[in-house]
Chain A
Amino acid sequence: MTEIEHILRLFAEVERRQNPLEEAQKALNGLEEAQRAQDPLKTTQRALGTLEDAQRNNPLEEAQRTLEALEKAQGVQNPLEAARRALKSLEEVNRLVEDAWASIESAQTLAELEQLRIEYLGRSAALTEMKKSIRELPVELRPQIGGAANRASRSIEAILEARGAELTAVEREERLRAEAVDVTLPGTPYPKGSLHPSQRVIDELVDFFVGLGYRVAEGPEVETDYYNFTALSIPPGHPARGMQDTFFLDEGLVLRTHTSPVQVRTMLSQEPPVYIVCPGRVYRRDSDPTHTPMFNQVEGLAVDRGLTMGHLKGTLTAMARHVFGEAVRLRLRPSYFQFTEPSVEMDVSCFVCDGEDPNCKVCKGAGWLEMGGAGMVDPAVFEEVGYDPEEYTGFAFGMGPDRMAMVKYDIPDLRLFFEGDLRFLRQF
């Protein structure tokens, strides 16, 4: 508050002079004169300049001159009175600020703080009143007094804000404490459906083969005798027909017993190379604890130049690792299918015990899990669809995603898959 001190000093000098009243009267007269001179502004500016000079030189004389100038410049009746009031105001500002600081620091609630804000900064607060009365002050004093008042306001605002933030934090803390819930209560339920376990495996297999560049081929479930059997080297009367427990419809129509007819249809409709995977439902007239009259199959077919059993083996190994994990191994055993030659069965090493546990629940101690059949496409099939078996070779394979799901998810009974029991289906 150096300005205040400075002004105080100025006033002290003025006061020490003998006849202040007269002086003031003179100043007043001067002011009136100045007003009459029609150029109060210039006069004021000059007075200000003088004041600045005074500050630089002899304070007493300067003050005197200043006072004179003031008296000349201002049309107030009693500048001294005004000056005194201003002086008093400044002291009051100091006191107010100190007061405000103390009360604000001790305020305990935001409401209380709001009261204090009104008290110190509101419309009828002392500081506000003072700001209003600045207009009554001599022009030269206004910046200082006004500045002091504004700084006081800002100071009070700052402390209000600081305390406000403190109290807000405290009150928010309290509110949050009051808002606490029992977090162990269950959350709002969102719909949770499920995907059929066989479909999950089918999706995985399809994704794998699509990743290799295969396409997905589909075909009808009511199939002709030709596509389901004859085209696959299973002519009428062949014992293999008896093995497949076929459901018959009208003459020459069956529920397909495998998805192999899709392979035939694909080969008949396009030239090699062929890389397809055929998922779908198939039907056999068989119902016991380990057989259901409907089940799923995923078959695959690759026809190209130079395909070997090595490609079949590599493909199936990669597939098994995709489904059962990177550690599993593949084993091929000789087998017999009408539409492949050579034919093989594929086993995958047990992904749970790797053959180490004779009591393993998954492989029953065998160490291997039967995955399905495969083989190199029989030349007779190629001839049937018009491919040249000398130019092209190919491999085909078939798997049971239901059985794969059984071992993957540890499901004990195949029949569960098609009974629609929610207690079962909801687990997937």
Chain B
Amino acid sequence: MHVPLSWLHEYVDFDLTAEELVELFSLRSQEVDGLERLGVMSGEVVVGEVIEFGPHPNADRLSVAKVDLGGQQVQIVAGALNPYPGARVPVILPGSTLADGRKLKKTKLRGLESYGMMLSERELGISNDHERILLLDGPYEVGHPLKDYFPIGETVLEIDVMPNRPDLWGMIGIARELAAILKTTFRIPEPTYETGGSPTGDYDLRVGAEDLCPRYDLRRVSGIQPGGRAPLFIRRRIYASGMRSINAIVDATNCVMLETGQPIHAFDATRVRDSIVVRRAYPGEEMTLLDGQTRVLDEEMLVIADEERGLVVAGVMGAEEAEVGEQTTDVLIEVATFAGRNILETSQRLGLRTDASGRFERDLDPNMVSYAMDRVTGLIAEISGGRSASDTLSHYPDPARPWQVPLRLERTELLLGMTVEASEAAQRLELLGCEVQREDGKLSTTVPTFRRDLRREADLIEEVGRLIGLENVPERLPGVPLPGGMTREQRKLRRLRYLLAGLGFVETMTYPFGPARWNEGLDVQRTLKLRNPLSAEASNLRTSLLPGLLDTAARNRSFGVRGGAFFEVGRVFEPREQPLELRDAALRYRLLGDTSRGDSDGDAAADLLIGVAEFQKVTGLYAGTVRASVWNAPALTAGFFEVKGLVERLVPSATFEPRPWTFLHPGRSAAVLLRGAEVGWVGELHPETAQMFGLEGWPVCAFEVDFAAVEPDPTPHFALFYNVPAVSMDLAILVDEEVRVGDMLDTVAQLRSSILAEARVFDVYVGSQVPPGRKSVALNFTFQAEETLTDVEVKEEIARISGRLREAFGAEVRGG
């Protein structure tokens, strides 16, 4: 809502700078987005009379005027051509400043002196017209300051009106609000007009869709002078309020809308056939609206029509058919209220939001209609010389009446946390337009119909609190009577993130929706889709965090980065097949929160009804050169075992099974198992996948595990140890290349040696030193027991181990 301060001053007295007003309004009422300044900021503008006007001798596009400023003649060079001798013009004097920052000086233009400047409407903040000099038409006296006639500068407050306050979409509401803040009074214009025009009753009014139209009033004003332009004071109000001046009648309706918040429509009465009909649109009904576009309407949209055709999409925009124009002398004025939600939906479906629809969609006060009707009648009569009909057609079957809301003082003090005097609360509410009766400890409040947001006690408490000032609320801390804290899983998440960051990973947060490539790349069949994605490229909900991280790596690559280590902890989403018989129950759950199955079977599980399974995943990615080589350390590049080692660190009891994933290298990927159950995967990216994600040529290794399986900081358990020396023994074993070292280690573990403390693989060799098809695996064993071990004991155990390996894998012991 744009609030020109000169206008506000007419309704309420206040002595505040614009900045003070912004602050006060922000702290007591609505947020103020900013201040806009128009016209002349400082200095003087006087009425001048053009004595001579002709072309500039040295410039084709310039003119020169001799202007009488009342006892002083000056020469002014101008860019416009419209002044003529005898015309009265606004002349800004040197030393003045315009809102756009220009400061006027005596100057020379193409060799001729120019004293001040003749002003256009834009420079005076009247309209956007900058082609011509404003020619003053009326009782303007030469030499007089122009500000004696109308304000030459304007400051406009841009108020961000909250959706529950449609009353503030009009200047009167703003004035009432400011008066309540300042504890003062405000005044509104008293409408006056003469009747005697052609009767409204020549037309019929039929309201066929009462549910969408609580009130519809129609009044005829005739005998209007045609082709009129609105007077300057109206045009500058409209311009300052951010609208465009159209013609006298439309400007009058808009001006009253800005004043009352009530949109008004005027029809050219001569173009209305017999009746005004308020009805739902016919299916497929077309209407060409004032923006020149033809729109197809549907049955849920309300139209204002005559007997033959639609004239207006109600509350949104008019059609060309019955619009007032240059020739209009006879108008039907519509002042109505419509069902807000319907207007909102119509405006959304048509993609058309107007000053009117924005107001109607908030549900306007039907009782504002009468004042607005009188006001606009008076204004049209005043500026265009029309006469009102003495009759008004009105459809208002169910008049809105004020309602009562009790307000308890102790409740007020409880919610606000400060002491509130009953008299103070009563006065504030009265200033807002309520009637208040005090009964012991209680205020019986009658709320006016323009404050539909004040329905309950809490609503009144808010009003009292904000008007007293929230800065008066004292600060307290509650004594929380519960043990708080994070759950084990929440602490685990924290540790996990800090651990991964400590291990060199960069925490990322990627969007959970992406292109089809995300699923194709991962060979995922079914995903959840957004119905209204920002772009088709971002409609698939992720089933893995990998694609987002791959895109991230590729984007960094395009920035010239040589590689990186990324991780993310986040949700993935999978559709959950819903039994057909649960469809209805699911919808009830989703829309109403109802978990009953709808039959006698009791409640269904909420996660089944929601139809979506969410899982928390931890995903890490090594791409390219993770760390560049330095003078004393080699480069770290993505490799299977680097990433596997991380998984081993995060899931200490994990086991690994080779498993071919379509998006991973078939020979360098494994399922991560925890106690036999699959909890994730680890592997090198398949070159084809790498290519699909723009990472071709880079080594890329990744893992993804269920957050539930991760154990970054396992609970420790004490194990007894002995203060006797441990014995270390190496064993080099030749096996076929296909033999898996992991199986060998498992076999050793299955021996359950009572003295084997640790088995470590310290070398794996394939090459000229061993026969073809064989590999040498070098193992180190550490033995430890309660008593010092003898050579014999250790040798026996090593023999048992190597014997078992020979048996199981055809291993040949090379030395030890």
Contacts and interface: CB of A to CB of B under 8 A. Distances in A.
Interface of A: 185-186, 188-189, 191-196, 198-199, 203, 206, 209-216, 220-222, 224-227, 230-231, 236-240, 242-243, 247-253, 255, 268, 273, 275, 281, 285, 287, 293-294, 296, 302, 304, 306-315, 317-318, 330-336, 341-345, 376, 378-379, 393, 417-423, 425-426
Interface stretch (B501-509, B691-699, B790-798): B501-509
Given A213-B480, A308-B414, A239 B630 contact: no
A318 B29 CA distance: 25
A357 B487 CA distance: 43
A345 B466 CA distance: 12
B417 A248 contact: no
Contacts of A311: 417, 476-478
B482 A275 contact: yes
Interface in B440-463: 456, 458-459, 461-462
Given A189-B630, A293-B534, A418 B509 contact: yes
A199 B633 CA distance: 32
Contacts, number: 279
Nearest to B632: A188
Given A239-B344, A273-B481, A310-B417, A189 B633 contact: yes
Contact of B417 (A210, A308, A378): A308
Interface residues of B, number: 103
A420 B344 contact: no
Nearest to B531: A248
Contacts of A419: 552, 555
Contact of B593 (A212, A231, A341): A231
Interface stretch (B37-45, B264-272, B467-475): B467-475
B415 A393 contact: yes
A212 B26 contact: no
B318 interface: no
Nearest to B500: A193
Contacts of B589: 224, 226, 252
A209 B484 contact: yes
Nearest to B339: A237
Contacts of B552: 419-420
Nearest to A245: B532
Given A309-B415, A341-B458, A420-B508, A249 B529 contact: yes
B465 interface: yes
Contact of A343 (B462, B538, B567): B462
What does DSSP make chain B's interface, helix, strand, loop or mixed?
mixed
Interface of B: 26-31, 162-165, 340-341, 344-345, 348, 361-362, 414-418, 456, 458-459, 461-462, 465-466, 470-471, 473-478, 480-487, 490, 494, 497-498, 500-513, 528-534, 538, 541, 548-549, 551-552, 555-556, 559, 561, 564-567, 570-571, 573, 586-587, 589-593, 610-612, 614, 627, 630-633
Nearest to B533: A247
Contact of B614 (A216, A222, A252, A418): A222
Nearest to B627: A189
Contact of A226 (B362, B590, B627): B590
B484 A237 contact: no
B484 A344 contact: no
Given A220-B612, A252-B586, A330-B475, 8 more contacts: A191-B503, A209-B484, A222-B612, A252-B591, A304-B478, A313-B474, A342-B458, A418-B509
B617 to A, nearest CB: 13
B476 A216 contact: no
29 contacts: A186-B630, A188-B630, A193-B500, A193-B505, A193-B565, A196-B508, A198-B509, A210-B484, A220-B612, A222-B612, A225-B590, A225-B591, A236-B591, A239-B163, A242-B348, A247-B532, A253-B610, A273-B481, A293-B534, A331-B27, A333-B26, A341-B461, A342-B416, A393-B414, A419-B552, A419-B555, A421-B559, A422-B559, A423-B559
A224 B504 contact: no
A299 to B, nearest CB: 16
Contact of A425 (B29, B508, B513, B590): B508
B507 A196 contact: yes
Contacts of B593: 224, 226-227, 230-231, 268
Nearest to B162: A336
Nearest to B487: A216
Contacts of B510: 418, 420
A142 to B, nearest CB: 46
A193 B566 CA distance: 9
Contacts of B478: 275, 302, 304, 307, 311, 314-315
Contacts of A189: 627, 630, 633
A253 B587 CA distance: 9
Contacts of B486: 206, 210, 215-216
B345 A422 contact: no
A243 B632 CA distance: 58
A199 B568 CA distance: 11
A425 B466 contact: no
Query: 9 closest A-B pairs (Cβ-Cβ)?
Result: A191-B504, A310-B417, A252-B590, A308-B417, A213-B480, A420-B552, A342-B462, A314-B475, A193-B501
A105 B632 CA distance: 45
Contacts of A186: 630-631
A425 B506 contact: yes
B459 A331 contact: no
A251 B344 contact: no
Contact of B456 (A191, A268, A379, A393): A379
Contacts of B490: 216
Contact of A249 (B163, B461, B530): B530
A341 B476 contact: no
B592 A417 contact: no
B791 to A, nearest CB: 37
B534 A421 contact: no
A95 to B, nearest CB: 51
B344 A193 contact: no
Given A237-B344, A420-B556, A422-B556, A344 B611 contact: no
